[in-house]
Chain A
Amino acid sequence: MPASNGHTAPDLPFPVFQASSKVERYLLYDINTITWLRKNHNILGVLIGTLPQIPQQNVFLGLPLELQPEEARLLVEKGLAYTVNDLDWHTKDLASKNTTQVESIRADLHRDGIEVARELQKSKQKQTREALKRLRINSFSTVSSHSAASPDPQAQDDTPEETLFADLPTPESTQAQSVLEPKPWTVTPTISYPPLSAPPVPSSPALPKSTPSSYALFAHLHDKGYFMSPGIRFGCQFSVYPGDPLRFHSHFLAMSAEWDEEIDLLDLVGGEGWGRGLRRGG
């Protein structure tokens, strides 16, 4: 996977994947898109990927990124993105591929796997060589200290090491070993296009649904340059950051309400208690 710094813009509009037509969950799989959005459009989302072996993992999560409904809607409204039904599109696009195309996709993956295995083998060999070189220099320096006849108590321990590495393989012989082809790795790509063709851009993209009041609040704060992450941990809708949360503490805990929606004063007082515990403005 190429390193991503958010400088390269994805092809616009980019697809936002909806896991199913019944569930309002929007996912992004491409790390380039994700970093670009975070850097240029203040969109955070939530990383939700766990290691397959540890599904109860709840920190250091990875791809994919789930967008909040408000974020997904904002991106669609700004014309940056469009929603795609993940399952439908995959089924349709895979069905449209003929056998040779499928084979070539498989061959590509296999080739990638070989590439990864080779890279790994190369770096391992490099490490080994450098470690051996270091050891040899160390033993030489011990030998020279021997010749200086210094009464080193450790000198006794070093002697077996010298004999152990006396007949080290030369770098040339290591090179010869690398001709052995390593076992290819199984590559699981995080994105499926390419190789699949990009999902078609609909003429009138469906807007992700979100509560009108919370979307209005999100869009207003987003327009003012704030970053919003889900606030459920703090008993609110959004925790609002004045910049990237990696650099800033949040300023507000935000709740939205309709213009005439009744607000219990006890909630206001209680919510303030939450905020004060976290030293945030209400």
Chain B
Amino acid sequence: MAIDSTPPAPQPSALTSYLKSCALHGSHSPHYQNLALQILHNLQYQHDWTSLHIHIHSPLTQKLLLRPLISGLPPHRIYVHPDDQVEELKRGLDPTKGEPEREWVLPTYLAEKWSLRRFGKVFDAVGEEPPEEEREEEGKEEVSRDESEDGGAGGGPGGKKRRGGKRILLATLGDDSTVVYYIIHDGIVKPRQN
């Protein structure tokens, strides 16, 4: 038996090489940063999101966030308030075909435990709409980093009011790299018509 003919190590996965290619910063612990990067990777390549951006500081208070948050533009609208739905149906429009809105994404692990206070802190740190990004043309591999100087440009109290108030897309990463997404609202919002 030839022992020296070990097969070459397999090529690292696309995700691994992506994570390696991204430089980490010192503000959040590395596992939070890698979690955010992995969710971003999933959004970008599996769900075709664009203008993805990782936020380290709150666009409202400029303080360090609990953990990095992602903002981005989905390919189609992910949430329609029932009142908007009714209005658009009355005007003969298809509510699912509307202009997509930029969303906040909160990266989490499935094994984590959260509390109402922590969800509240996340909601307090974000506006209704994530700030517009000017640096989205920097290339797909290079993730632009929010260094808080361009925060608060788009959303916040000055932006247009969204029905239902603040919402966050809760991205939960499982052990097998599947990600599930749930929309969470700040407060009581009546459900969608089915």
- Chain A interface (Cβ within 8 Å of chain B)? 221, 224, 242, 251-252, 257-266, 268-269, 272, 279-282
- B113 & A263 in contact (Cβ 8 Å cutoff): yes
What is the minimal beta-carbon distance from B154 to any residue of chain A, in angstroms? 27
Please report whether the interface of chain A is mostly helix, strand, loop or mixed according to DSSP: loop
Residues of chain A lying within 8 A (CB to CB) of residue B109? 265
What is the minimal beta-carbon distance from A185 to any residue of chain B, in angstroms? 50
What is the minimal beta-carbon distance from A272 to any residue of chain B, in angstroms? 6
Which B residues between 140 and 194 are near A, CB-CB below 8 angstroms? 170, 172, 180, 182, 188-192, 194
What is the minimal beta-carbon distance from A192 to any residue of chain B, in angstroms? 41
What is the minimal beta-carbon distance from B73 to any residue of chain A, in angstroms? 24
- B115 & A260 in contact (Cβ 8 Å cutoff): yes
- B115 & A257 in contact (Cβ 8 Å cutoff): yes
13 contacting pairs across A/B (C-beta < 8 A): A221-B188, A242-B190, A251-B191, A252-B188, A259-B115, A260-B117, A261-B116, A263-B114, A265-B108, A265-B114, A280-B191, A281-B189, A281-B192
Closest to A267 in B: B113
Residues of chain A lying within 8 A (CB to CB) of residue B189? 281
Query: Considering the chains assembled together, what is the distance between the CA atoms of A282 and B188 in angstroms?
Result: 10
Residues of chain B lying within 8 A (CB to CB) of residue A224? 188
Residues of chain A lying within 8 A (CB to CB) of residue B172? 265, 269
What is the minimal beta-carbon distance from B30 to any residue of chain A, in angstroms? 21
One of A251, A266, A269 near B190 (C-beta < 8 A): A251
- A262 & B114 in contact (Cβ 8 Å cutoff): yes
Residues of chain A lying within 8 A (CB to CB) of residue B93? none
Residues of chain B lying within 8 A (CB to CB) of residue A268? 114, 170, 182
- B110 & A265 in contact (Cβ 8 Å cutoff): yes
Instruction: State whether the Cβ of B99 lies closer than 8 Å to any Cβ in chain A.
Output: no
- A269 & B116 in contact (Cβ 8 Å cutoff): no
Residues of chain A lying within 8 A (CB to CB) of residue B116? 257-261, 263
Query: Considering the chains assembled together, what is the distance between the CA atoms of A106 and B35 in angstroms?
Result: 77
Closest to B114 in A: A263
Closest to B108 in A: A265
- B110 & A252 in contact (Cβ 8 Å cutoff): no
Instruction: State whether the Cβ of B94 lies closer than 8 Å to any Cβ in chain A.
Output: no
Closest to A263 in B: B114
Residues of chain A lying within 8 A (CB to CB) of residue B182? 268-269, 272, 282
Question: Most chain-A Cβ atoms within 10 A of its Cβ — which of B109, B110, B172, B188?
Answer: B188
For B68-88 the 0/1 string (1 means CB < 8 A from A) is 000000000000000000000
Query: Considering the chains assembled together, what is the distance between the CA atoms of A260 and B109 in angstroms?
Result: 19
Query: Considering the chains assembled together, what is the distance between the CA atoms of A146 and B138 in angstroms?
Result: 102
What is the minimal beta-carbon distance from B190 to any residue of chain A, in angstroms? 6
- B112 & A265 in contact (Cβ 8 Å cutoff): yes
Given known A-B contacts A251-B190, A252-B191, A280-B191, A259 and B108 have beta carbons under 8 A apart? no
What is the minimal beta-carbon distance from A40 to any residue of chain B, in angstroms? 22
- A269 & B180 in contact (Cβ 8 Å cutoff): yes
Query: Considering the chains assembled together, what is the distance between the CA atoms of A97 and B110 in angstroms?
Result: 65
Q: Given A252-B188, A265-B111, list of 19 further CB < 8 A pairs?
A: A221-B188, A224-B188, A251-B191, A257-B115, A258-B115, A258-B116, A260-B115, A260-B116, A262-B113, A262-B115, A263-B113, A263-B114, A265-B109, A265-B112, A265-B113, A265-B114, A266-B111, A268-B114, A269-B182
